Amino acid sequence: MTRAEQRERTRAGLVEVGRRLFATRGYAAVGLAEIVREAGVTKGALYHHFAGGKTDLFRAVLAQVQAEVGATVAARADAEDDPWAQLTSGCRAFLTASTDPAVRRIMLVDGPAVLGWSEWRAMDEAGSASHLADVLTALVETGRVAPQPVAPLARLLSGAMNEAALWLAETGDPADLDDVLAALFRMLGSLRP
- Interval 35-77: pLDDT, tens: 999 999 999 999 999 999 999 999 999 999 999 999 999 999 9
Integer Cα distance of 45 and 175 in angstroms:
45
**Of 175, 177, 150, nearest to 165 (Cα)?**
177
Q: What is the pTM of this model?
A: 0.89
Q: What is the CATH number of domain 3-190?
A: 1.10.357.10
Where do the structural domains in the chain lie, given as residue ranges?
Answer: 3-190
| pLDDT on residue 168 | 85
Q: For the ranges 1-5, 90-94, 143-147, which has the lowest average pLDDT?
A: 1-5
pLDDT at 87 over 80: yes
Contact 97, 106 (CB under 8 A): no
User: Which pLDDT value is given to residue 181?
Assistant: 95
pLDDT at residue 84 tops 90 = yes
pLDDT of 124 above 90: no
Q: pLDDT tens-digit profile of 148-176?
A: 999 999 989 988 998 898 888 778 777 89
